[in-house]
């Protein structure tokens, strides 16, 4: 009946989605601290691979230079390797899937469906305000660029959110609130129902 492979517990994966400035990085750090997840950022993994100077990294760098999208498979392989290397079985995957194609490829390649999607819902004006106030330094943070990043986020990521919404897997968080209030909501999402009784 069951082969040995079946007994392997699949890791718990939570996709973290939210526009630029929605505060997801801050919240991910808190989830790691409180709930023992490993935080994997697709962008960081790609950048680390480029820095490593590997053949794969060079290929990724050239694609980005040419303005091409890095193929889903490449990012997914990096995520899979990071998951295996971490020795953990609970992961926050941040900034991925960026689009519907990423999502389908992730499930096809890893055979993992996310436990849920943590979606930081933040009005565009608030994200703009945050990004502009926190960065006097980053050259890509002028208002046009921010709006463009936001538009790209909406166009590509919202279909992913909608797909998981249809499966009842989206946990939407009002990310416009102060950090601590947002984390209270996040904490409730990550706390197993049966533990909530013990105050």
Q: Give the helix ranges, DSSP H, for 14-142.
A: 24-35, 42-51, 55-65, 72-86, 100-110, 124-134
In terms of Cα–Cα distance, which of 24, 42, 21 is closest to 32?
Answer: 24
Buried b (16+ CB within 10 A) or exposed e, 87-103: ebebbbbbbbbbbeebb
Residue 26 neighbours by CB under 8 Å, 6+ apart: 179
For the annotated binding site for a ribonucleoside 5'-phosphate, the residues are: 47, 68-70, 95-98, 138, 149
For the annotated binding site for ATP, the residues are: 21-26, 134, 177
For the annotated binding site for CMP, the residues are: 102
For the annotated binding site, the residues are: 21-26, 47, 68-70, 95-98, 102, 134, 138, 149, 177
The C-alpha angle with vertex 176 and arms to 124 and 33, in degrees rounded to 5, equals 120
């Amino acid at each position: 009946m069951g082969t040995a492979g079946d007994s392997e517990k699949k890791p718990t994966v939570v996709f973290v989605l939210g526009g630029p400035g929605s505060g997801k990085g801050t919240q991910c750090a808190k989830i790691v601290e409180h709930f023992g997840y490993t935080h994997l950022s697709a962008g960081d993994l790609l950048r680390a691979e480029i820095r490593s100077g590997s053949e794969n990294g060079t290929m990724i760098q050239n694609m980005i230079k040419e303005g091409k999208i890095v193929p889903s498979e490449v990012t997914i392989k990096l995520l899979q390797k990071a998951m295996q290397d971490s020795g953990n079985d609970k992961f926050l995957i941040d900034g991925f899937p960026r689009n519907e194609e990423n999502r389908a490829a992730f499930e096809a390649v890893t055979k993992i469906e996310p436990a849920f999607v943590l979606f930081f819902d933040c009005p565009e004006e608030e994200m703009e305000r945050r990004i502009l106030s926190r960065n006097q330094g980053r050259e890509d943070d002028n208002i046009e660029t921010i709006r463009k990043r936001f538009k790209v986020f909406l166009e590509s990521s919202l279909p992913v959110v909608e797909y998981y919404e249809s499966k009842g897997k989206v946990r939407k968080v009002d990310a416009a609130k102060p950090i601590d209030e947002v984390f209270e909501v996040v904490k409730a999402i990550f706390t197993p129902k049966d533990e909530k009784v013990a105050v």
